Amino acid sequence: MTFGSKIVWDDTVLPFQLDRSDIRGRVARLDGVLSGILKQHDYPPAVEALVAEMALLTALIGQTIKLRWKLSLQVQSKGAVRMIATDFYAPENEGEPARIRAYASFDRDKITDGPAMEQIGKGYFAVLLDQGAGMEPYKGITGLSGPTLAHCAEAYFAQSEQLPTKFALSFGQSTEPGVASHWRAGGIMIQHMPKASPGVARDASGEGGLLMPEDILDGEEGENWNRANHLLATVEDMELVGPSLPPTDLLVRLFHEEQPRVFDAQTIRFGCTCSEERVRQSLSIYSARDIEKMTTEDGRVTADCQFCGAHYDLDPDTLGFEAKEVPGE
């Protein structure tokens, strides 16, 4: 099997549990999905890396949400990369694929050749959960800290959820003779199982006074967590993204003494929810005068989807709450 070919575990998230240490986790691979996300835009390499990392985090975190729910991760920053946004759409029905999309907003003139995280200034990391109509959306926010977005996500779970969490990620472009350049991304997330009543946190050790995973657990739980983290730290990049080691075998290699138990894998697809109907709906709050201000010299109203690049070209007379005609009638 060549590195450029489709692998059976590509674009999947495999949930697992370590029974000995009371820890749950996921193994994710985003390959074709990540290529689908990144090919929509002409991102500089540093921005591509940030979007790839954010998409991988979203797949790992999003696998646990319920059917028809939506999980979003966002980074808002005052740096060259102003925003990174991702959405994870849980399946409509059991057994169907989940969908993921992502994009970044940035100032190209301010992008440097430095590390990816240097492109992000002061700001925050946010997790948003939409449980559907009639339910109040959840939003949790923590400050940006650490050398990676994964570190920011770990700080979020420790600070906002009191859940010790650790990520091991690998991602990048594969360029090999005879195979078109393509993205490979893989990661593992482990998380201590929540208790009925949270433990007492010690002093915060994270940057800016944020709690980190090691600040939460003590005693036997702390020993279990440290042992699992030590084992996770032995994973190699090629084990996360290579074509020869299935996720189940990787879990046995890393955690065989922790009694790993796997569950059904979740398939992931690149998917966007934009549509002409949604564009019309978003413009329905505007008056004819407002719509006129949006109209181009060619007499059209246009809109582009930041996630998938879809272009919409609409007749201004059919838009807004003062539309002169209704589409389809």
The pLDDT averaged over each successive group of 10 residues in the chain (329 residues) is 56 94 94 87 92 96 91 95 95 92 94 92 94 86 92 91 93 73 90 63 59 69 92 95 90 94 94 78 83 85 75 83 63
Q: Of 150, 127, 142, which Cα lies nearest the Cα of 211? A: 142
Identify the three-state secondary structure at position 102.
strand
- Buried/exposed 277-303: b ≥16 CB within 10 Å, e otherwise: eebbeebeebeeeebeebbeeeeebeb
Q: Which residues contact 199 (CB under 8 A, 6 or more apart)?
A: 162, 216, 217, 218, 221
CA-based angle 52:158:195, to the nearest 5?
120
- pLDDT at position 202 is 52
Query: What would the two tokens of residue 112 be?
Result: 């440097």
Q: Which domains does the chain have, with CATH numbers?
A: 12-270 (3.55.30.10), 276-318 (3.90.1280.10)
- pLDDT at position 205 is 61
- pLDDT at position 9 is 82
Residue 223 to residues 219, 228, 287, Cα–Cα distance (Å): 6, 9, 62
Q: Check if the beta carbon of residue 29 is closer than 8 Å to that of residue 247.
A: yes
Instruction: Tell me how crowded residue 109 is: count the other CB atoms within 10 A of its CB.
Output: 6
